[in-house]
Amino acid sequence: MIVAKYHIKKNDLVMVTNGREKGKSGRVLRVFPEKEKVLIEKINFVKRHSRPHGQQRQGGIIEKEAPLAVSNVMLLCEKCNKPVRIGHRIVEGGKKVRVCRKCGEIFDK
């Protein structure tokens, strides 16, 4: 699924540009277009209390990634090694791809 407004997709490498996790980067695990949020691997861990289920398991605290506002992340260009703005280009076959506006690196391969 694509968040058209922000051009960020699952498996993209992104960097957090705002908030508590600013400067960290990771892969996008999930996109929530309706909430304009993205879940990023190993970023924005929050502690959650899990309730015990029956008598088998004990309740406790688990750490889990929480989604971040997509407006607080930018696509990270591995060539430029920094967050970049995205441009679009039509490649052979008429396919529209996302490219780095700085170096022209194609993100959709």
Rule CB under 5 A: which residues touch Zn ion? 77, 79-80, 100, 102-103, 105
CA distance 61 to 44: 16
Residue 99: CB minimum distance to Zn ion, A:
8
Chain centre to alpha carbon of residue 16: 8
Nearer residue to Zn ion within complex by CB, 68 or 100: 100
CA distance 39 to 16: 11
Nearer residue to Zn ion within complex by CB, 13 or 69: 13
Residue 7: CB minimum distance to Zn ion, A:
14
**Collapsed DSSP state (helix, strand, coil) of residue 9:** coil
In the chain, the amino acid numbered 99 is V
Nearer residue to Zn ion within complex by CB, 8 or 39: 8
Residue 43: CB minimum distance to Zn ion, A:
21
